[in-house]
Structure 1
Amino acid sequence: MSLTSLAHLGELSAGQWDALVPAGQPFLRHAFLSALEDSGTLGPHSGWQSEHLLWRDTQGTLLAAIPGYRKSHSYGEYVFDHAWADACYRAGIDYYPKWLGAAPFSPVGGRRLLGDPQAAGQLLQALPDYLEQHDLSGAHINFTDDRDNQLLAETSPWLHRLGCQYHWHNRGYRDFQDFLDTLTSRKRKQMRKEREQVAAQGFDFVWYHGGQISEAQWDFIYACYANTYQVRGRMPYLTRPFFSLLAERMPEDIRVVMALQQGQPVAMALSLVSGDTFYGRYWGCLAEFDRLHFETCFYQGMDYAIAHGLTRFDAGAQGEHKLIRGFEPVLTDSWHYLRHPGLRSAVANFLEQERAGVRAWASEARDALPYRQA
């Protein structure tokens, strides 16, 4: 058995990689990850250098893998360790470079330890030596699933961290009104009023699949996406070519809703659909309109999920405002291996307290949900 790294996913065939990826996880597919690399979104200039870890048998057969990246900062991860890096800086300890197992810029839960469980466990056991040989401060694996959690919990000394997101669940609703009927009177009126306010501004909404979108429309989609960063004085993570490559390589998973006013597009929300899940990803508009964000990003997605029998709507990280719109708190998991013993001890103490706080917050957050009590 051997642990090797891969600097470009294109060196491995899509068939080999995707054979390890469970169904319904589009952000781990060869098409998605290679589009990030081939579009120039990732690379040394971005602080995200691909370093996928592979575990092969003596015949060279690929048995397990982790999509991975050498990081020189902590942006775009959605599991925030800036305080750990700052503490290391003050103590004269190098925190970067570090290694991250993740789907870049995608805070979506799922499998990270790909392939055969036994082989994935062996890869984990070999990882500390790899970190030492390559002078990496540690390894971090974000947004893992239950199988990953079990493997990592059995491999000392990985540290467990909890987070909280908000997901909406389609409980067999016939239509949006059927969903509204499950809410308290006040919240039901609030959502109905929000939708009426958007309609009163003359908006229409048109849905597209990936294969239906022209390059001119992708230009508009990217302009909207980039504007969400530019208004905050930041550069967007994704490049324009990424969107064209994504449309070329996995059009069947892409859904875009465009908001039109007097026939002209002014906003959009791009999502991926896979299995039973609607993944809301990127939103943007060219001008500010009252309540348009909630309609385009949330209510349109709910409508789509209901109409197409999708049972879960994952709208991404953060956003307590989702609670009052029916998105329920969901705990997320990440795992951290830190080589420096002092740092590892301090972080372990912190995480023990943080886990209790996150669980308490998720429990309290349920009180803000708009659903009628039985």
Structure 2
Amino acid sequence: MYTDTVDHDEFQLLEETFRSAGPEAVFDLLIGRAREERNHRLLFGTRLMQVRHRLGLPLIETEPAMDVAAGQRPAYEAAFRDAAREAGELCLAGGDIVSAWPYFKALGEPAPVAAAIENATGGENLDRVIEIAFQEGANPRKGFELILEHHGICRAITWFGSNRDYDSRQACLKLLVRTLHRELAAALKETIAAREGAVPQTGSVSELIAGRDWLFEGTSYYIDSTHLASILRFTPELEDAETLRMALDMADYGQRLAPMFHFRSEPPFEDIYLDHAVYLRALLGEEVEAAIAHFRRKAAEPGDTTPAEVLIDLLMRLGRYAEAVAASREYFPDANITPRSCPSAVQLCQMAGDYATLRTVAREREDLLGFAAGVIQS
């Protein structure tokens, strides 16, 4: 039940209003006060009390919804939703995203909060707004922008790793790559201007470093190499060609750095700059055959299946489904062992629309359901 500091004259006013005009006038008076003071709790509580009065229920709820009869429940739930929406809108009208979110989250209507977050720039509740936007999914892209702007790339990398939603992950990865690329280009341009007396007009990292070996003399570097290595590990997920090009630029830059900045990574990206450059270049349609051969060699090495999965995923991304299926059958011949990070042979056949091969693969693996899918779709 809502309580707050109230002038005693207001209690008298409520009594007089009830005597002269009845309960609905009391509710109207409370709603007017709530709106005037932007008091969302009073507004929500009054609206619920109002519907309880109209339904003949006790005005003060003692057990949540237990006293609402089945025939009354639709009207009660509709009023509850309307009250929550009205209270949430009151919060947003006052710029209070944090207080608005529980109402709209309960309604399953994140759009109004997402729109408000789009215009957020800072404030004392910024960290909570970021949590709502990014971690709770109200507006992940904008939440990630706010992380980058107010907490920097290091924190953004950490937060990005926890995001498993495909669409927002793509949007956030683009922001991450573009932000680091912009920082790298700016640092290179500043250094070049100091040496050559003019600021280069290009924003392309590959163009900035071309023919300027002096940029990499000694142990020179222009962005935090741990940030670069961390972000490159995510870049095989990219689909946007422009951002892929930026990621490739940074991988090529990384290859020029002194050995102390070449960090070892997990197979098949042991040489984090070179191996990512090969992969990203292939996704851009460049040196494709060399890339496939590069990762075939890695897949053939004994040990973990991750290199094979990367090869299969690359072939799939390139639209070379027949080769991807063949690789999957080669490296995952046991039907009981399925890839962890790429589609299975059966899934690849489905994606390619190759139902003849789907039947063959399903028969090999004694997969009756997969075989049925191949027969029915042929």
Q: TM over 0.5, yes or no?
A: no
Higher helix proportion, which one? 2
Higher strand proportion, which one? 1
User: What band does the TM-score fall into relative to the shorter chain?
Assistant: under 0.3
User: Normalised by the size of structure 2, how large is the TM-score?
Assistant: 0.22
Which has the greater radius of gyration? 2
Q: Which fold has the larger relative contact order, with Cα–Cα distance below 8 Å and residues 6 or more apart in sequence? A: 1
